[in-house]
Amino acid sequence: MSKFRIALAQVNTTVGDLRGNADLIKSWASRAATLAADLVAFPEMTVTGYPPEDLVLYPSFVAENKRLLNMLAADVNGIAAVVGFVDEADGKLFNAAALIAGGEVKGVYHKIHLPNYGVFDERRYFMPGDRYPVIELGGTVIGLNVCEDIWRRIGPSEAQCSAGAELIVNISSSPFETEKFATREDLVVTAAKRNRAFVAYVNQIGGQDELVFDGGSMIAGPDGGLIASSPQFEEHMLTVDLDLERVRSLRRLSPADRRAEAPVSACSQERWVVDTPPRQVRPELEAPGVVRTDRLDAIYSALVVGTRDYVFKTGFKKVVVALSGGVDSSLVAVIAVDALGGDNVVGLSMPSRYSSEGSILDARDLADRLGIEIWNIPIELGHRAFEAMLAPCFGDYEPGVAEENVQARIRGNLAMAISNKFGWLVLTTGNKSEMATGYATLYGDMAGGFAVIKDAPKTLVYELANFRNAAGRGSPIPRSVIEKPPSAELRPDQLDEDTLPPYAVLDRVLEMYVEQRQTLRSIIESEQRAVGERADKATVTHVTGLVDRNEYKRRQAPPGVKITGLAFGRDRRLPLASRYRETDGDLDQG
């Protein structure tokens, strides 16, 4: 056939909900069949949800996922489907994609390239595949592979196109990171142009623990142009008619890149031949289009989806947010309302003797604008009781950080008591700048179940607050919250900058040290070249030292949405007991 109709179903699966995921696949496959698609492709590990982590080490889990795959093969009618699952053979596990058609599993592809960096540790569980099949589906030759396989410059796609594939179908579960859509787009269009083939890339959406998947499924043409893409952060079926004659004519004029032999020399080729049901009249499709999301819109959507899915997939219905009147807690409350609805968010105001009247009023104003309930529990009674209890131990010692942190711990205790009483999840409000430097209190403001903005630096928090206020859905965050100097308000006249550098400087240093893993020397040199306010050698040394010393705090922090290229938690795993420290190599301060 010269025209091939493909459907890409970017769906929101739930890890471990094998039956629910199977029902989801069946429902969306039926929709694709109604559109008379020749093939519908689902994301990586659709049956199990991604990533299933150590669940795959339980034989019963793997067996049930295979049983449901076979059930799907019998239940999905009138269309061929590619479905991701976990395969087991001879005691080995594989990240796999099955082609189902005509009531049975026609073939299984095992992922060849297993990522083992960042948030990925697939080599812990899976063996690499050793076969690269091509599929003849009603006369169309298709190459099938999984996620990381297409990230290789020369890999299975090239081998499959060398064997005649005109269409590459890649099923993925690629987590969101800022600006990652552009990286994927470049990857897909480059692979299409290099191989003179159509490339269809389907990605899942939804939150899973700290990861958020943004979809953005796409199809590129053999000339390297992006034909169509799905919107990010929502379930969607992208259905497109592909004119295979474009591939054939381009290949006659200009042969595709044929350098696949070396990387796949240990792999064997297979060919699966599958008939397609006869098509009478196909319904008309809307003209395909490319959907792109602006940077701040994408980040904000990731935080909303990550929060929504974590709350609901863990079985909670409502959340509680401590509202201090500051920008961090205000942003978390707005995200929570956008994710869950105002009826499912309760604000908690816990003023102390050091809380400013402005902050108390700002918290109430925010709650009124959001239409959420706010409970007011002043902590003075508890504060005095703690002072009295600790007086015999603290004696005549000068008050300091310990006394300040008592207030944060009282608040953490109150929030967790309310969570315990009503079964609500506590959303913490600390940002990445605070988590990096330890500017947070264990069992205090770090106490809770989910840390919404733990991967958002303070400067990004301000960007997101302004973005949300201008996003056309009201302006919920009072200007006074955004404009006032940030303060923990744990002592008189306290400001964050009493302890930390200005956030613009701090976040720049943290990005270089944490996300880019630059050396102390290179950071100092970069700051010496910086225009405007910059960190001197002592400041850089102080900040990086704070990062190193506070790993133990971050290890005890709740999970939160990953939005940057390197987040604390799954991405960055450092020993707690370590004496290694970066040095500047005796760099002259200049």
CB 316 within 8 A of CB 19: no
Categorize the per-residue pLDDT at 584 as very low, low, confident or very high, splitting at 50, 70 and 90.
low
State the residue for tokens 């006369």. 139
Write down the mean pLDDT value for the chain.
Answer: 89
Q: What is the pTM of this model?
A: 0.92
CB 270 within 8 A of CB 107: yes
Catalytic: which of 66, 111, 432, 537? 111
Catalytic: which of 66, 122, 147, 434? 147
Predicted confidence (pLDDT) at residue 304 exceeds the cutoff of 60: yes
pLDDT number for residue 417: 96
Q: Is 26 a catalytic residue?
A: no
pLDDT number for residue 279: 67
Predicted confidence (pLDDT) at residue 483 exceeds the cutoff of 50: yes
| Helix or strand (DSSP H, E) at 365 | helix 357-370
Q: What is the pLDDT of residues 310-344, one digit of tens each?
A: 999 999 999 999 999 999 999 999 999 999 999 99
- Pick the closest to residue 513 from 485, 548, 481, 484 (CA basis): 548
For 494, other C-beta atoms within 10 Å of its C-beta total 16
DSSP result, 460-483: HHHHHHHHHHTSSS---S-HHHHH
Strands 345-349 and 319-322: parallel
Distances (CA, A) of 29 to 14, 17, 217: 18, 18, 16
Q: How far apart are CA 157 and CA 147, in angstroms?
A: 11
What is the rounded (10 degree) CA torsion for 382, 387, 392, 395?
170
Q: How far apart are CA 204 and CA 167, in angstroms?
A: 20
Q: What is the pLDDT of residues 135-183, one digit of tens each?
A: 888 889 999 999 988 888 888 988 888 888 899 999 999 999 988 888 9
Strand partners, 98: 83, 108
Q: Is 482 exposed, middle or buried (0-12, 13-18, 19+ CB in 10 A)?
A: middle
Categorize the per-residue pLDDT at 534 as very low, low, confident or very high, splitting at 50, 70 and 90.
confident
Q: Is 147 a catalytic residue?
A: yes
Q: Is 245 a catalytic residue?
A: no
Q: Which domains does the chain carry?
A: 3-291 (3.60.110.10), 296-496 (3.40.50.620)
For 312, other C-beta atoms within 10 Å of its C-beta total 15
Q: Mean pLDDT across the stretch 501-528?
A: 90
Q: How far apart are CA 316 and CA 98, in angstroms?
A: 34
Q: Is 369 helix (H, G, I), strand (E, B) or coil?
A: helix
Helix axes 520-529, 503-510, angle to 10 degrees: 140
Residue 515's contacts (CB-CB under 8 Å, 6 or more residues apart) are 564, 565, 566
